[in-house]
Amino acid sequence: MRFSLRHLQIFVAVAHDGNVSAAADALAMSQSAASAALLELERRYGNPLFDRAGKRLRINETGRALLAPARDLLDRAAEIDALLAGRKGPGTFRLGATQTIGNHVAPRLIHAYTQRHPGAVPALEIDNTASIVARIADFSLDIALVEGEYAHPDLLVRDWLGDELVMICAPGHRLAGRARCPIDDLLAERWVVREPGSGTRQTLDRAMHPHWSDWRIAMEVQQIEAIIEMVAVSDLIGCVSELAARDALAQGRVARLQVADLDLHRRFYIVSHREKYVTSGVRAFLDICDEATSGDD
């Protein structure tokens, strides 16, 4: 065998960060040592893993093929290391979540996990659905909880929890307090919405598809909290998860619009890579996710 686990650690880190310097910092080693080890790995097999343009590295076809088994081997090695060192139970892992889930659902799941397995704290990354799914596809994350539907041949997508979007406006808005807001009244207003690529926007686009030509989108923003605050201080109306709007509604900073003409129900999903080794930490976290479905309709 002409490679070591250290070779693979450096290769995976460089593939993740896109350059040797950042990878070396992450591994607490010098840039020259990381670069030398990577070149040594490539020379031993006579097979480059990256295309080089000056100091820039771009993973090539061979490198992409190596990435999945390299990550799997490192994950398995970490479990063996923990076993030999006497560290019992599941360990940490890389969790991805979209904004609503990351801010309003994942914290209690992570808390439950750390209560059962002290010292094992998952690394949480929050972004929109498209970005999180891409991170699962390139093995940067171990598992993800997302709001949007996403089809990819390399990924496993499992139905998980139900959710509902709500329409909101400022308390002083002309539509506030109405028993029912027909679609024509909503189309007469200007909207602030999430950006394309988010799960919230995917659900909203589907609901608004029959009214696309009359839909007046005034702003697109990446943060749910920004939508809520913009609605609270302006005449714009917005649409966010009921989970995200709960506090602002309870505090009276925004008002819920009673909408009967739009289907704003959606599902949350658990996403993983078909070829990714499922560590004991991920398996234990999935058990907690399964327990959360007990209260789902």
Q: How far apart are the first and last CA of the chain?
A: 53
- pLDDT score, position 289: 96
Q: CATH top-level class for 163-265?
A: alpha beta
Q: How many CA atoms lie within 13 A of 157 on its CB side?
A: 17
Boundaries of CATH 3.40.190.10 in the chain? Answer: 94-161+267-295
Q: Is the dihedral of CA 40, 45, 50, 53 positive or negative?
A: positive
Boundaries of CATH 1.10.10.10 in the chain? Answer: 5-84
Residue type, 152: H
Return the closest-CA partner of residue 238 out of 186, 168, 179, 180: 168
Residue type, 253: R
- pLDDT score, position 295: 57
The matching CATH number, chosen from 3.90.1150.10, 3.40.50.1220, 3.40.190.10, 3.40.50.170, for 94-161+267-295 is 3.40.190.10
Residue type, 218: A
Boundaries of CATH 3.40.190.290 in the chain? Answer: 163-265
The matching CATH number, chosen from 2.40.37.10, 3.30.1330.30, 3.10.20.30, 1.10.10.10, for 5-84 is 1.10.10.10
- pLDDT score, position 194: 95
- pLDDT score, position 107: 96
Query: Under a CB-based contact definition with an 8 Å cutoff, are residues 145 and 253 in contact?
Result: no
Residues of the chain with pLDDT under 70: 86-88, 295-297
Q: How many CA atoms lie within 13 A of 179 on its CB side?
A: 0
Longest dimension (CA), the chain: 73
Instruction: For residues 132 and 126, give the distance between their C-alpha atoms in angstroms, rounded to a whole number.
Output: 8
